Structure 1
C-alpha cells in the first residue's frame, strides 16, 4: 500500500489535471465530472489525515504535565485546540475533532496497532486501534471515524472484544453510509450493547432540557428556543409533522375524509413556518382541552416506542422511539404501555411484516403502523426523511395484483422519490424482506440493483 505522502501526491496530480478553472470543469462530461468528485474526495481524505496527525502531535507537545513549557502555552494559547483553531482558521468544533482524532491515530501508531484483519499475537487490538487502522487504509474518513469514536467513548461495562467486533461491523458498513448515518447506526449499536447505560443517558437528557423565551427589542417579536429529551422532542416533532403532513408528502395513507383538510392546507397562502407558528399558538391557547381533529386532521400526535416481543416479555430494554435511533429504557417502555397500550406487529424470520394484507386499494391504519415500524422512514437510498414525510408505494401496480394491498409489496417513500420512481421508470424489487432499486437505463445502462435498507433499529435487530 502506498505511503500517505505518495497517495497524496498522486491524487493531487489527478486533481491538478482538472485545470482548476470554472471553464475547464464545465467542459467535463458527466462521467468525468463524477470521477472528479471522487478524486477530490480522495485527496481531501489524505489532507485530513495529515491535518489530524499534525494536530495530534501539537496536542502531544502541549500535554498538561508540560505546563507552560508545552507548545500551545509557550505560543500563548490556553490549549492545543485553541492553537489549531487560530493557526488553521477553523471552528472550535473542527479543531477539537482534529486534535481528538489525531491523538487517537498517534496512540494507535505508538502501540504498534496491526492492520485491519491482522494481529501480532499479543493482546487483541482495541476498537480504537481498529478505527485508526481503517482511517489509515482509507476504509473510513476522519468524519466517519469521529462519529464512531464519540459514541463508543460513552459505552461502559462492555467487553473490549465485543466492542471491537461491533466497530468492525460499523467499519464494514462505513463506505455505504454518510458520517451522519454512521453516527446514528453507532448509537443503535450502543443502545444494544450498553443497555445498562440507557437510563443514565435518559436522565442526562432530562437534566439538559431547557425552554428559553425572550423579546427581540429590535423587531418587537417574541422569540424562543427549546432543547427536549428525545421522547418529548419526538412528541413535539410529530405534532408539527401532522400539521404539515399534506405539504411534506402526505397524507401518507389517503383517507377520503381527510382530503378536504389536506387540499385546504395545500392551497393555503402561508409558508410552512407561518403555519407552524400559528399552530404553536393554537396549541398553547387550547392546551389539553384542544380537539385533536382541530389541529391534526383527525389523528392525535403520539410517540410510539418500538420494542421486540422478547424484550417486552423479559421487561428489559432497549426499545426505540419510532422513526429515530434513540434508545429508551425498560421503565420508559412500561410507562408508554401504561399511557397508550400495545400494538402488536408480527414479523417473520426475514424481518418482513406478516398477516396485515387487505383486499383494498389503500393501506389501512394498522398497515401504516407496520410499514412505519418495518421501514423507519423513506427507503430511497440516502434519504433521511422520517415516516411523517412518506407515502406508501405499491411496488407492483395495484390493478395488476387482483386488488390486494399487501404490506410486503409496499414501502415508504417521501413524495419526491415516490414521483421519481413512478414517473421516471425506476423499479423496486423485493427478495423476501429485502428491497432493491433498479435505475432506468438513462441513469445506469447496466441497471445494477441498489439496496434499499430499512432505517428501523428494531428491523435490524430482528434480521440479526
Structure 2
C-alpha cells in the first residue's frame, strides 16, 4: 500500500502536469477539465491529512495538563486551535476540524501500536491471543481517512453527529460508523451530515426530546441599526418553528420557485402578478415580513388572516403513532421530532392519512385529472422528501410534480407512482435537455441523454424522506 508521502507526490505531479495558468485550464476540453478538478480534489484531501497530523500533534503538545509549558501557550496562544488558526490562516471551524481529525488519527495509530506490541509479547510467551481487535467508531473513521475512503470534511460531519449519541451500545455505534463511511462515497459533506443525523435519530431515539429542548433553548432574535441607517436582524429558531416561518415565505414566493400548479383563476392571477413583479425575491420577502408584523400589531386578538394558513407537517408511520414510540420527521427538513411534538402538532392541525402499498407506493387515483391533486402532492412530499434529482436539496415546497410518462404524448397517468417531485430547475432540465425518468416498481432511475453519457447508464434516484425508511424497517404484518 502506498505511503502518504508517496501518494502526495503522485497526486501533486498529476496536478502540476495540468498547468498553472488560467490559459492552460481554458484550453482543456470538458473531460480533461473534469479529470483535472478530480485530481485537484484528491491532492487537497491528501494535503488535509498532513494538516490534520500536524494539528493533532500541536494539540497533543498543548494538552491542558502541560499548562504554560504547552506548545500553544509558549507561542503566545490561548489554545492549540487558536495556534492552528494563526499558523494555517484558517477559520476556527477549520482549525477545530483539523485538530479533531488529527487527534483521532493519532489515537488510532497509538491503539494499534499498543495492540501489536501486546500481541508480540503474548506470542513470545507462548500465549494464545486474538489475531485482530474490534475498532471503535472513532478508529474506524480515522482508518477510512488514512485509506482515502473518507474526506476530512465528511469525517468531521460524522464525528460531530455520533458524539451526540447518549443511549447506544458500542457495537451499534461501530456498525453505524461503517454504514456511514460506505454511504459517504459520492456524497458531499452536507449530505453525509444529513445521513448521519438520520442514523443518529434511529439509534438514539431516546435523545430526540433532549436535542429538541437544546435547540429551543438556543432560540434567539437579534435586531440592530447598521451604519447606513438600515434596520437589520437575525434569528435562530428550533426546526419546528423554523419550518413554520420557512413555509410562510415558501407560500409567498411559490410561483417563482415552482410549487403547485395553479388551477383556480384567482390564484393563477395572483401568481402571474408576482411573476411579473419587478421586485427581487428578497424584496418581496422583506415587504411580506413587514406586512405580517403590521397586521399582527394592528389586529384584534383572534383575527385569522389569509385564505391559507402556513402549516408544519410532521410525517410519522401509523405504527409509531399508535405505539407512541417515535420519532416523526418534519416534512421537507427531515429533522426528527419526539412523540410529544407529534401529538401536539396533531392536536393543532389534525391528521392526514396517506396509504402505501407493500412496495412503498401511495394509492393512485388514475388519469381523470391533468394535474396532481393537493392530496397527491402530500403523498409525493411524504414519499420523496423533496427534489429527487441527484445532489439537489430543495424541499417539497420548491418542487413540481413531474409525470415520468408524458401526460399528453405518452398517455401518462396522474398517479403518485408515475410522478416524482422535482424543483423548477431540474424539472426544466429534464424536459428541455432530453433526460428521462424510469420506474421499476418503487425505484426510480434517471437516464441521461447521450450527449452527457454515451452509454446512458441509469442513475438511482433515492427518496430523501426518512419516514419511508422508517416504514421499510417495520416488520411485515403477519398473514392470516
> Fold match, TM over 0.5?
yes
1:179 maps onto 2:193 in alignment: no
Determine the structure 2 residue equivalent to 1:359.
368
Q: Report the alpha carbon displacement of residue 255 of structure 1 after superposing the two structures with TM.
A: 2.2
Distance 1:374 1:253 in 2: 19
Structure 2 residues without counterparts, runs of 5 or longer: 116-128, 297-301, 474-480
Determine the structure 2 residue equivalent to 1:51.
51
Distance 1:37 1:91, change over 3 A: same
Determine the structure 2 residue equivalent to 1:256.
264
Determine the structure 2 residue equivalent to 1:139.
149
How do 1:112-131 and structure 2 match up within 5 A?
112=112, 121=131, 123-131=133-141
Distance 1:228 1:178, change over 3 A: same
How do 1:52-451 and structure 2 match up within 5 A?
52-112=52-112, 121=131, 123-216=133-226, 218-250=227-259, 252-257=260-265, 258-287=267-296, 289-293=303-307, 299-357=308-366, 359-400=368-409, 402=411, 404-451=413-460
Distance 2:293 2:131 in 1: 64
Distance 1:355 1:120, change over 3 A: farther
SS in 1 for 2:97: helix
RMSD (Å), alpha carbons: 1.7
Distance 1:426 1:402 in 2: 18
Aligned 8 A contact 1:283 1:290 in 2: no
Name the TM-score, length of structure 2 as normaliser. Answer: 0.91
Q: Report the alpha carbon displacement of residue 350 of structure 1 after superposing the two structures with TM.
A: 2.8
Number of residue pairs the alignment of both structures matches:
453
Structure 1 residues without counterparts, runs of 5 or longer: 294-298
SS in 2 for 1:226: strand
Aligned 8 A contact 2:449 2:456 in 1: yes
Distance 1:68 1:289 in 2: 63
Q: Report the alpha carbon displacement of residue 285 of structure 1 after superposing the two structures with TM.
A: 2.0
SS in 2 for 1:398: coil
Q: Which moved more, 1:173-182 or 1:356-365?
A: 356-365
Q: Report the alpha carbon displacement of residue 143 of structure 1 after superposing the two structures with TM.
A: 0.2
Aligned 8 A contact 1:359 1:403 in 2: no
Q: Report the alpha carbon displacement of residue 436 of structure 1 after superposing the two structures with TM.
A: 0.9
1:453 maps onto 2:462 in alignment: yes
Q: Report the alpha carbon displacement of residue 357 of structure 1 after superposing the two structures with TM.
A: 4.3
User: Per-residue CA shift, 1:383-436, capped at 9, x if unaligned?
Assistant: 111111111100001125656311001001111111110111100011111111
SS in 2 for 1:436: strand
Q: Rg larger in 1 or in 2?
A: 2
Aligned 8 A contact 1:349 1:462 in 2: no
User: Per-residue CA shift, 1:86-137, capped at 9, x if unaligned?
Assistant: 11111111111100111111111111199xxxx9655521111111111111
Q: Report the alpha carbon displacement of residue 462 of structure 1 after superposing the two structures with TM.
A: 2.5
Distance 2:200 2:366 in 1: 35
Aligned 8 A contact 2:365 2:414 in 1: no
Aligned 8 A contact 1:253 1:368 in 2: no
